[in-house]
Each structure stands twice: as structure tokens, then as C-alpha cells.
Amino acid sequence: MRTRAIIAALGIRAARGGDVSMRAYRRRLGGVALGVVFLAPSAWAEDLEFTLLNAVDSDLVAFQVAPAGNDDWGRNLLKHRLPRGVETQVLIPNGMPSCTYDVRGTFANGEVLEEDALDACDLGGYTFEK
């Protein structure tokens, strides 16, 4: 029953005698799989991890990234406040095809620091400082 539903969804018609040709099934399924490969390359984008250090006098309370030139900062990537002199590992899930990001840090004293166009793939680490 489940196979028939999949076959119907793929739009494969039955051959003479009502049986679906396995050749037609494989050909259509292969085409669907190939389409998924080319339509969703970001599905293979890897997580990007690097070390973040706070060298500012106030606790870092939020760390956000956006593709370079984009103002959509997304969610806070910090799991906890980051005091001065402390570092942590930061994970950018499902990294973008480009390695160039803008970064933003928000501090407990209300200060916001931004830096544009960082190559996060070659970065290895980033330090917020004044």
C-alpha cells in the first residue's frame, strides 16, 4: 500500500497488466533524487565553529552573525553570558555557502559592537575589543 502511494505521488503509470515497471519507478525516483541534489545544496552546508573571546570591560550577552551586507542578524548564538577575559566555542549551524559574515556583540552595559565582512572559515577565533 505504501509503495503504491509513493508510485502515485511520483506520477508513474502502470504498464500493461496493472504492474508498475521497476525500470520506470527507478528512473522517476532517480530524477527526483537528482532534483533534490541540485535544488538543495545548502542541505550539505557544514556547521562552522570558532572561538570567541570577550576583551571588553562588560559581559557579552549576545553574539549574532549575518551574511555580509545583510541586516537579518538571526538568533543569539551564545549559550551564556561571557565575562571579560573568557572565551567560548561558538557554533554557526548550517553555515552559508559563503564564509563572509558580519558579526554583532551586545554587552550588558548596552553597548553594541559590529564588524563587517569577516572570513569566518579562515578565522579560527574572534575577539571583541575596543
Q: What are the sequence ranges of the domains in the chain?
A: 2-39, 44-128
What percent of the chain is predicted at pLDDT more than 70?
A: 63
Q: Which of 31, 48, 32, 39 shows the shortest CA–CA distance to 92?
A: 48
Report pLDDT digits (tens) over 98-123.
788 899 999 999 999 999 999 877 87
CA atoms within 13 A on the CB side of 31: 9
CATH of domain 44-128: 2.60.40.2890
pLDDT band at 83 (very low <50, low <70, confident <90, very high): very high
Distance CA 90, CA 50 (A): 6
Whether the pLDDT of residue 40 is over 60: the answer is no
Cell of 40: 538543495
Most confident of the ranges 23-27, 86-90, 123-127: 86-90
pLDDT band at 43 (very low <50, low <70, confident <90, very high): very low
In what helix (H) or strand (E) does residue 121 lie, and over which residues does it extend?
helix 120-123
